[in-house]
Amino acid sequence: MTDLKTIAEILKEAQIGSEMTIRGWVRTKRDSKNVVFININDGSTIHSIQVVADPTQFNEQLLHDINTGAGVAVKGILIASQGSGQAVELTAKEINLYGKADPNEFPLQPKKHSLEFLREIAHLRPRTNTFGAILRVRHALAFAIHKYFNDKGFYYLNTPIITGSDAEGAGEMFRVTTLDAQNPPLTEEGKIDYKQDFFGQETNLTVSGQLEGELGALALGKIYTFGPTFRAENSNTARHLAEFWMIEPEMAFYQLKDNMDLAEDFLKYLIQYAMQNCADELVFLEKRLLDEEKQLANEERAPMALREKLQFIIDNPFKRLTYTEAIDVLLNSKAHKKGKFKFPVEWGIDLQSEHERYLVEKEFKAPVILTNYPKDIKAFYMKQNEDGKTVGAMDVLFPGIGEIIGGSERESDYDKLLQRIEELNINKETIWWYLETRKFGSVPHSGFGLGFERLALFVTGMRNIRDVIPFPRTPKSAKF
Ligand code: 4AD
Ligand code: MG
């Protein structure tokens, strides 16, 4: 085992008087006459350690080259801090400069940079306090997801990334091909001949692991997937990515109510886990948000501070109502009567973000689970209700985010499913295997998809989804 220690470990142990080495990147350097202060962060925690160096003990050029961004190792004695703002500091005995960072070139100077600018330097932004905090929260949430499901007897199932089917039926897929784009082989009718493509058929990047997830649930009982998902929808919003991560649990024998109970419990658990395990990060992110909001008009500011908002979600039941009830609420709202909604409200519409946010933020002031949507605005696999008009869908709507989870009970009746597939002109040949599960031992089952970055947005209080994934992919942007 190595004896390298991270700053997180050193701060935890706080062995005052001991000799130790810290390794990391210089955040700031401050010279005064008799002493040089160097702040070092290694990414293991939001906290930096201040190194105190006596300039007469070190080579002048070495001290000159230690600038913001430089990679260093400092050996010294850990002492209780003389100054305010930190508990311990390190008196330097030896300094090793691994790599310089020329202050005329290094773009991350110790001043406030805009989030837009930081997106342009996504290769370096993890070295800021903000992105360090976000990435650690993201890690904690990912770990908590696996822990939650493992503790509850779910099995982690890896579903394919390359697929021949369109799970959501929305046709927003990225093609995967090795055919020559300039000169593809053609069929006799003059169409591209995918039989000659790598897989001998048309293939795409998956938009969801659900269909294969169902195969797993109908064998293992309870499964979940957690993987990358791709959507070629041209929506340049602060809540959409072309590549995002989705968690999709799927459970045999669960009906809609069980599905809702699981979704609510799961979200509360994850938020609680972040509160307990990312306390320092959340304090920092809360302050960041308050600072940012100072520039906003009153009505654009969040009604609660970040941690208060997270606690509120944990402590309060989600409001559950049907789509039809929600449309009534919207129709009877002052906002509607005064013509404040941009998009029309009537039974059958796909709810717009303004409608979802009205329900969550104005009407109920709590997360909302909407169920039983019109079948025409939902995917083919959802359980058809007796009324012939609606399906057993459920969307979880969160304040400031809108839809964070989408799911449903699944249609388990072979004939009804086939009929819906035919009505929607879905290519049966690409999902014959899916249909077979309804032929051989079909049972009721349900599941949902949680957008990982939407959750990360909510927990970190960031406003743009590009800022909660290390390297965002959006229309016209796949740098890094
Ligand atoms: O509602 P969606 O499209 O549902 C499905 O894909 C189902 N197959 C899930 C299931 O039942 N197993 O997507 C689920 C969630 C959304 O609620 C949202 O949080 C997120 O995935 N999501 C996106 N996140 C970021 N960028 C996008 N373009 C997203 N599209 C969906
Ligand atoms: Mg959805």
Residues 147-205 have pLDDT tens digits of: 999 999 999 999 999 999 888 887 799 999 999 999 999 999 999 999 999 999 999 99
Amino acid 301: pLDDT: 85
**Nearest bound ligand to CA 234?**
1
Residue nearest to atom 22 of ligand 1 (CA): 451
Secondary structure element (H or E) that encloses residue 136, with its range: helix 129-151
CA distances for 416 relative to 67, 216, 313, 372, 381, angstroms: 68, 22, 38, 17, 10
Structure tokens at 109: 């100077």
Please choose from 138, 157, 246, 448 the residue to mutate so as to test ligand 1's pocket, defined by most ligand atoms within 8 A of CB: 246
Q: Where are the domains of the chain?
A: 7-109, 127-172+207-467
For ligand 1, what atom is nearest to the CA of residue 407?
Answer: 11
**Nearest bound ligand to CA 251?**
1
For ligand 1, what atom is nearest to the CA of residue 405?
Answer: 17
CA distances for 74 relative to 29, 40, 83, angstroms: 14, 9, 19
pLDDT of 348-406, one tens digit each? 999 999 999 999 999 999 999 999 999 999 999 999 999 999 999 999 999 999 999 99
Residue nearest to atom 31 of ligand 1 (CA): 451
Average pLDDT, the chain: 96
**Nearest bound ligand to CA 208?**
1
Phi, psi of 379 (to 5 degrees): -70, 160
Q: Is the pLDDT score of 1 beyond 80? A: no
The amino acid sitting at 52 is V
Q: Is the pLDDT score of 83 beyond 80? A: no
For ligand 1, what atom is nearest to the CA of residue 167?
Answer: 8
**Residue length, the chain?**
480
Instruction: Quote the CA–CA distance of 345 and 66 in Å, as a whole number.
Output: 61
Residue nearest to atom 28 of ligand 1 (CA): 240
Residue in 407, 404, 381, 375 with CA at minimum distance from that of residue 394: 407
Please choose from 173, 244, 256 the residue to mutate so as to test ligand 1's pocket, defined by most ligand atoms within 8 A of CB: 244
pLDDT of 2-16, one tens digit each? 789 999 999 999 899
pLDDT of 263-315, one tens digit each? 999 999 999 999 999 999 999 999 999 999 998 888 888 889 999 999 999 99
Half-sphere exposure of 404 (CA within 13 A, CB side): 24
pLDDT of 439-449, one tens digit each? 999 999 999 99
For ligand 1, what atom is nearest to the CA of residue 454?
Answer: 19
Q: Per CATH, is 127-172+207-467 categorized as 3.30.930.10?
A: yes
- Looking at residue 358, the DSSP 8-state letter turns out to be I
Domains 7-109 and 127-172+207-467 share a fold: no
Structure tokens at 466: 């590009």
Work out the angle between the directed axes of helices 129-151 and 279-293 (0-180°, nearest 10): 130
Amino acid 93: pLDDT: 98
The amino acid sitting at 351 is L
Residue nearest to atom 24 of ligand 1 (CA): 451
| Beta-bridge partners for 402 | 398
Residue in 391, 409, 378, 372 with CA at minimum distance from that of residue 252: 409
| Interval 81-105 mean pLDDT | 92
Residue nearest to atom 30 of ligand 1 (CA): 240
pTM for the structure as a whole: 0.97
Amino acid 32: pLDDT: 86
CATH architecture label of 7-109: Beta Barrel (2.40)
Residue nearest to atom 6 of ligand 1 (CA): 208
**Nearest bound ligand to CA 457?**
1
pLDDT of 193-241, one tens digit each? 999 999 999 999 999 999 999 999 999 999 999 999 999 988 889 999 9
- Cβ distance 473 to 174 under 8 Å? no
Ligand 1 pocket list (CB less than 6 A) = 167-168, 208, 210, 231, 240-241, 244, 246, 248, 403-407, 447-449, 451, 453-454
Strands, DSSP E only, in 297-455? 319-322, 368-374, 390-398, 402-409, 445-451
Residue nearest to atom 14 of ligand 1 (CA): 449
Residue in 377, 379, 330, 386 with CA at minimum distance from that of residue 358: 330
Instruction: Quote the CA–CA distance of 195 and 205 in Å, as a whole number.
Output: 18
Strands, DSSP E only, in 152-211? 155-156, 162-163, 175-176, 203-205
Q: Distance from the CA of 202 to the center of ligand 2, in angstroms?
A: 25
Instruction: Quote the CA–CA distance of 23 and 43 in Å, as a whole number.
Output: 10
Q: Distance from the CA of 15 to the center of ligand 2, in angstroms?
A: 51
| Interval 129-142 mean pLDDT | 98
Q: Is the pLDDT score of 84 beyond 80? A: no
